């Protein structure tokens, strides 16, 4: 057994292992940087979504209020139309008057 070749082999493997570990550490640092940037993007996205949701809920609340007002107005108009239809209906069914009313 050749001690020099064994030592050379061990040192070569150790150097390769250290190079791989250095490369791995560098890639992990880059991944950590990318992850930090991704977290920042997600935070901005989350804030933006929260603003949009608040705006949508405000719009929905205003739309619901406006719908209630319009619905109430339509109900009032419907009631008035029903009253008008009743008046017209009684006028049509009433027998015609016999000439002009007598004057005094």
Q: SS3 of 102, please?
A: coil
Nearest to 34 by CA among 47, 26, 18: 26
pTM over 0.75: no
With a cut of 80, say whether residue 72 has pLDDT above it.
yes
For residues 65 and 68, what is the distance between their CA atoms, to the nearest angstrom? Answer: 5
Q: Which residue would you say has higher pLDDT here, 89 or 13?
A: 13
With a cut of 60, say whether residue 100 has pLDDT above it.
no
């Amino acid at each position: 057994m050749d001690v020099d070749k064994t030592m050379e082999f061990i040192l070569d493997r150790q150097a390769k292992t250290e190079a791989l570990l250095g490369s791995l550490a560098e890639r992990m640092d880059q991944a950590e940087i990318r992850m930090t940037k991704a977290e920042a993007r997600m935070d901005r996205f989350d804030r933006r979504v929260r603003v949009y949701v608040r705006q949508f809920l405000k719009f929905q609340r205003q739309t619901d209020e406006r719908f209630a007002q319009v619905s109430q107005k339509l109900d009032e108009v419907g009631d008035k139309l029903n009253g008008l239809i009743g008046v017209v209906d009684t006028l049509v069914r009433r027998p015609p008057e016999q000439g002009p009313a007598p004057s005094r």
